[in-house]
Chains A and B, each alone.
Chain A
Amino acid sequence: RVDEWTDVDRKRVMNDIITTMFNKKFMEELFKPQDLYSKKALRTVYDRLAHASIMRLNQASMDKLYDLMTMAFKYQVLLCPRPRDILLVTFNHLDAIKDFISDAPGILNQVDETFRRLIETYNCLSDGEFQLIRQTLLIFFQDMHIRVSIFLKDKVQNSNGRFVLPISGPVPWGTEVPGLIRIFNHKGVEVKRAEFTTAGNYVTPQREGSFELYGDRVLKLGTNMYSVTRPVETHMSGSSKNLASQAKENIAPNPLAKEELNFLARLLGGLDIQKPTGGETGFRLNLFTTDEEEEHAAQTRPEELSYKVINIEATQEPGRRAELSRILGELEVAEPRPDSAEKGEDLLALMDGL
C-alpha cells in the first residue's frame, strides 16, 4: 500500500534501483557493440531492475509500468527533431536521475562515470549513424499503440494510440525554416529567390542543446513526465489488429534470447525475487486505484499483449560473486550494510542455486 511508505522507504528504493542500474559491470556490458535485445529480454531485465529493492509489483502493475515506459520512450525517440537529439534525451534522463540521488555521492559518481562514457562513445557519431540507431529503435517499437492517459490528456497522443506530430514550432538545429528557393548561375552566383508556403508554421530555434556533462539541454523530451503528480493509466482496448503476428513471434521460444538473459543475469549479480523473511509481505506498489482493479486488469489483459517473461538460470560462480560483493562494498559510502532482517533483502542478493 503506497500510503504506508515512508520517505525513507522511497529513498531506499530509488537508491537501490539506481545503484543496480549503474553497476559498473552491467554498464560495461551495455557499452559493448551488440544487437538490440529481443522484446522478451528487455522485459525481463526491466522486471529485475524494478525488483532490485524492497518494492514489489504484481503482474498487472508490472505490465502497466512496462507499457508506460515503452510508450513514453517510443514518443521520445519518434519526436526527436534531429537524430542526434536521442543523445540529448538520454542526457535529460541522466540529469533527472542525478537529481534523485543528489545526496548519495557514491552512486552519483557511478552515474557521472556512465555519463562520461556516453559522451566519449557517442558525441562523435555522425548524423547518419544516429539515424541508423534511431531507425533500429523505431523498428523495435513499431505497431505499439497503447494509449497512455497522461499523453491523451496532454494531446500528444490521439485516441487511436498514434502520436501527434506537430507541424509547427522550432525547426531542428541545423535546419532552415522551409519556404526558400535559391537559384545560382553557372558561376555560382545567386541570381534568383522564390518562396513557397505550406500549412506548417515553423520558427528558427534559439540555441543548440548542450552535449557536455552539465548544461542546458534545451530539448524537453526525456525530462520527468511526472514532475507534476498525475494519474497513471494505460488503455488496452482498441489496440492495433497487427498484434496477431506479433503474438506469434512472442510465443516461439528464442534460444538466443535465453543465452543473453543468462549473461545479463550474471552481470546483475543474480537479482532474485526472494521472499522476505519473517512472514512479511514486503512493500507492494499497485499502479491501479484498488487491489480489485489490479486483479481485474490482470485477468482481462488481451492475450496478444501479455509479455512472456523467461525464467533465468544463473550459473554459480563464486569468483564472480566475490567480485560483485567487492564492487558493492566500493559503492557503499559511510553507510552500514543493511542486514537481511530488515524489510526486503540485500541489494544484489546472491542467487541461490536453482
Chain B
Amino acid sequence: QAAWCELPSRVLLVLTSQRGVQMYDSDGSTMVFWHALDVPEHPAAHSVFARGISAAGGRFICVGTSFGAVLVFDIPPKGTNVTLSEVLEQHRDPVTDIAAEQGQAPDGAGDLVTADDSGTLCLWSTGEEFTLLGKIPGSGCTCSSVALWNGIVAAGYGNGQIRLWEAGSGRIRAQVSAHARWIYALDLAPLTGKLLSGAEDSFVHVWKLSRNPDTDDVEIQHCHAECVTDTQVCGARFCDPAGDTFAVTGYDLSEILCY
C-alpha cells in the first residue's frame, strides 16, 4: 500500500509490504525511515505484512500489521529520528485500514479508527499515549476500508455494504447495500462530506454524508454512480478536499482514470 501522510510540519510518503514499513520524503528522493516486521523463524501458515496507514494527532503515523497490532510512530518535524512510540494491541485479526478524523470530532468521539479482517472497529484518542475509547465488534465480514468525519465512522465491507457508525456511542446509524462485490476503497472529502466508494463490481459511487441538525440523525444520500466497464476497481480517491474530482484504478489497468 502507499499513502501520503500529512502532518503540520511535513508530508511523508508511507509504503507497506510483506517486509515492513518504509517512509519517504514527499518528493520520494530520500528514505526517511524503515521498520522491518518480525518474521517468524519457520514459515508460518499465516502471511506477514503491514497494512493500513494514517497520519494521526498531528504528530504520529500509524501502521497496521497482519498480527493485529497497530504500530504508532512518532515523527519529528524534520530529519530521520522516527521512533516507535507505542504498539496498540486490540485487534485479534489482521488490520485492514486506519483513518483519522478529517473534520471536527464531537466530545468523546475520538480521532482515530482502526479496522480488521473480522470487521471489528476500534476507536482511539491519540496522544502521548493512545486511549481505546470503544470497540465495535465485527459480524464476521471483513471491513476493508474506513473513514472518519465529524464523529461518523464510514466503513466499507467485503460483502459490498457500507455502514455508518456513531464514533462516540458505537451505534450503527446507517446501512447501505452499496455494491455487489468486495469494497476496496473508501475516501472522504472533508469540506463537503462527500464519500467515494469503489468495489470489484466495477462501480464507483459518490455519496453525501450529513447530519440532521434537529434529530441529530446521520444522513447518507446517493449522488452518482459510475461503471468502469470490465474493471475490478481497486483504488478510488478524491483529488480535491471538496470532492469535485476523483481518480480510479483497477486490476490489470495500467491507467489512472480521472472523473
Tell me the A residues contacting B by CB distance below 8 Å. Answer: 32-34, 78, 81-83, 126-129, 131-132, 138, 142-143, 145, 158, 162-165, 167, 171-172, 174-186, 188, 191-192, 194, 196, 198-200, 202, 242
Contact of A163 with B230 at beta-carbon distance under 8 Å, contacts A184-B172, A198-B225 already known: yes
The answer, yes or no, to whether B219 is at the interface (CB within 8 Å) is yes
Contacts of B258 in A (CB 8 A): none
A-B pairs with beta carbons under 8 Å apart, 20 shown: A33-B43, A33-B45, A82-B158, A83-B182, A128-B96, A132-B47, A142-B251, A174-B159, A175-B181, A178-B203, A180-B177, A181-B222, A182-B176, A183-B173, A184-B173, A184-B175, A191-B217, A194-B221, A198-B205, A200-B227
Smallest CB separation, B20 vs chain A (Å): 17
Contact of A175 with B180 at beta-carbon distance under 8 Å, contacts A126-B142, A186-B216, A198-B203 already known: yes
- Seed contacts A128-B93, A165-B201, A165-B231; 5 additional CB < 8 Å A-B pairs: A128-B158, A176-B161, A184-B174, A186-B169, A194-B222
Smallest CB separation, B76 vs chain A (Å): 34
B228 and chain A: residue at smallest CB distance = A165
Tell me the B residues contacting A by CB distance below 8 Å. Answer: 43-47, 93-94, 96, 116-118, 140-142, 158-161, 166, 169, 171-182, 201-203, 205, 215-222, 225, 227, 229-232, 251-252, 254
Contact of A34 with B43 at beta-carbon distance under 8 Å, contacts A128-B93, A180-B176 already known: yes
The listed residue with most B CB atoms (<10 A of its CB), out of A128, A142, A186, is: A128
Contact of A184 with B117 at beta-carbon distance under 8 Å, contacts A33-B43, A128-B94, A200-B180 already known: no
Contact in complex: A172, B159 (CB < 8 Å): yes
* Cα(A178)–Cα(B199), bound, Å: 12
* Cα(A33)–Cα(B42), bound, Å: 10
Contact in complex: A179, B177 (CB < 8 Å): yes
Contacts of A172 in B (CB 8 A): 159, 180-181
**Interface SS of chain A:** loop
B203 and chain A: residue at smallest CB distance = A198
B231 and chain A: residue at smallest CB distance = A165
Smallest CB separation, A2 vs chain B (Å): 35
Among candidates B140, B174, B182, B225, residue contacting A199 with C-beta atoms closer than 8 Å: B225
* Cα(A201)–Cα(B38), bound, Å: 47
Contact in complex: A176, B160 (CB < 8 Å): yes
Among candidates A145, A158, A178, residue contacting B177 with C-beta atoms closer than 8 Å: A178
Contacts of B205 in A (CB 8 A): 198
* Cα(A331)–Cα(B201), bound, Å: 46
A-B CB pair tally, cutoff 8 Å: 138
Contact in complex: B231, A175 (CB < 8 Å): no
Contacts of B169 in A (CB 8 A): 186
* Cα(A205)–Cα(B118), bound, Å: 24
Contact in complex: B180, A174 (CB < 8 Å): no
* Cα(A198)–Cα(B204), bound, Å: 11
Contact in complex: A162, B252 (CB < 8 Å): yes
Contacts of A200 in B (CB 8 A): 180, 201, 203, 227
* Cα(A83)–Cα(B203), bound, Å: 18
* Cα(A181)–Cα(B116), bound, Å: 24
Contact of A162 with B43 at beta-carbon distance under 8 Å, contacts A126-B117, A128-B142, A142-B251 already known: no
Contact in complex: A83, B158 (CB < 8 Å): yes
Contact of A129 with B117 at beta-carbon distance under 8 Å, contacts A158-B230, A186-B171 already known: yes
Contacts of A177 in B (CB 8 A): 177, 180
Contact in complex: A183, B217 (CB < 8 Å): yes
Contact in complex: A242, B225 (CB < 8 Å): no
Contact in complex: A181, B174 (CB < 8 Å): yes
Contacts of B47 in A (CB 8 A): 132
Smallest CB separation, B102 vs chain A (Å): 22
Among candidates A81, A127, A143, A191, residue contacting B181 with C-beta atoms closer than 8 Å: A81
Contact of A175 with B160 at beta-carbon distance under 8 Å, contacts A127-B142, A163-B230 already known: yes
* Cα(A171)–Cα(B174), bound, Å: 21
* Cα(A78)–Cα(B158), bound, Å: 15
Contact in complex: A164, B161 (CB < 8 Å): no
Among candidates B158, B180, B227, B254, residue contacting A242 with C-beta atoms closer than 8 Å: B254
